[in-house]
Structure 1
């Protein structure tokens, strides 16, 4: 069913984002990433107190190929 859209302002779209105005059957963005972070890296909030005396983040990847997203249709 068609729709009417007023003014649209786009400030930013990420690298794997999708923006669509109008009729659509299927939108399926596919992205994958690998993140390495040490202890306490993704903590959010106010007045955090994180004590980590010895931390080591191993970023060496032992396998040659990770699982891909080849057949995500």
Structure 2
């Protein structure tokens, strides 16, 4: 089934897959986790972030978030 892709803006490329159009199955080949404060990873042309108080809790009780087993 054909698809129409509108305007695209790619700020940086650090690996990974960009898919335009139809796809049957997409699976990640790597995983990562980042703990950051409020508004620290906002991206765009005009950003105004007002965070009065920010607290980041890096504690992860379940340890495994997304396993790569059987995802080769």
Task: Please report the TM-score for the alignment, with normalisation by the length of structure 1.
Answer: 0.48
Task: Please report the TM-score for the alignment, with normalisation by the length of structure 2.
Answer: 0.49
- Computing the radius of gyration from Cα coordinates, the structure with the larger value is 1
Could you say which structure has the greater relative contact order, defined with CA pairs below 8 angstroms and 6 or more residues apart? 2
